Amino acid sequence: MQKGKLYLIPNTLGSDDLSRVIPPYIKEVINTIEHYIVENIQTAAKFLKLAGINKPLRELTFYVLNAKSKESDITTYLDETEGGKDTGLISEAGLPCIADPGSVIVKMAHQKGIQVVPLSGPSSIMLALMASGVSGQNFAFIGYLPIDKNARVKKIKGLGSKIKQEGQTQIFIEAPHRNDKLLADILSNSPGDIILSISKNLTMETEEIISGTIEQLRNKNIILGKEPVIFVLGK
């Protein structure tokens, strides 16, 4: 029997307006799938409804894969896929496997000889990098910076040196309630001539992108608030 495929399905970045960010093909794909591995059932269900799924959700099977999942929890998640049924992987927001734990199931799929099909959609990391005005030819996404103040300041100083010496753009995120603290630390501890770009509420009506040298941004009184933000630091 032929094995099913594992489709990597993009979610929105929080907006309900899918036409801005999701290609029409996704609707075709979700209407052929009954098994889903999802980071969060609620956000996945909302997405599937917005994307135009034509089956009642109660007829679908959802398996949860999130940061708390252990490898032993997920060993059976691809059994139906091995048996011939296509499966969809959906993240809480944006692209599955980017800044989320989805890659473990993709690794397992490759080990089992299941075809993996990545589908296009919104990536907050890429949108922030495109909009930053700094080089996208060599860049790193490093996730979260340390929470501890001293370790964080040390990390920020290290990023500044790395950018000046190696020219590699650095992209990172923060828990929204710590955005303004992180911003203050970046402005105080980075070389004045490198560029900081801050992308807030990407793809939403309230999208805002601020870019300038550290020196320029020190003079503006920027308040980010508790919104989703991507930080891009480069030259």
Q: Which residues bind its own copies (CB under 8 A)?
A: 8, 18-25, 95-100, 102-103, 106-110, 115-123, 125-143, 168, 195, 197, 199, 202-203, 207, 209, 211-212
Q: What is the DSSP letter of 44?
A: H
Least distance in angstroms from the C-beta of 89 to its own copies: 9
Q: What is the DSSP letter of 27?
A: H
Least distance in angstroms from the C-beta of 27 to its own copies: 10
Residue 137's contacts (CB-CB under 8 Å, 6 or more residues apart) are: none
Tell me which residue has tokens 């100083």: 157
Residue 193's contacts (CB-CB under 8 Å, 6 or more residues apart) are: 213, 214, 215, 235
Minimum CB distance to its own copies smaller for 59 or for 219? 219
Least distance in angstroms from the C-beta of 212 to its own copies: 7
Minimum CB distance to its own copies smaller for 6 or for 182? 6
Least distance in angstroms from the C-beta of 215 to its own copies: 13
Minimum CB distance to its own copies smaller for 129 or for 229? 129
Least distance in angstroms from the C-beta of 62 to its own copies: 20
> Residue 114, exposed/middle/buried by CB under 10 A (0-12, 13-18, 19+)?
buried
Least distance in angstroms from the C-beta of 13 to its own copies: 9
Q: What is the DSSP letter of 51?
A: T
Minimum CB distance to its own copies smaller for 57 or for 98? 98
Strand order in the sheet with 61-64: 61-64, 35-38, 87-90, 5-9, 115-118
The interaxial angle of helices 179-189 and 149-166, nearest 10 deg, is: 50
Minimum CB distance to its own copies smaller for 57 or for 222? 222
Minimum CB distance to its own copies smaller for 57 or for 92? 92
Length of the chain: 235
Give the SS3 label for residue 205.
coil
Assigned token pair, 170: 């650095």
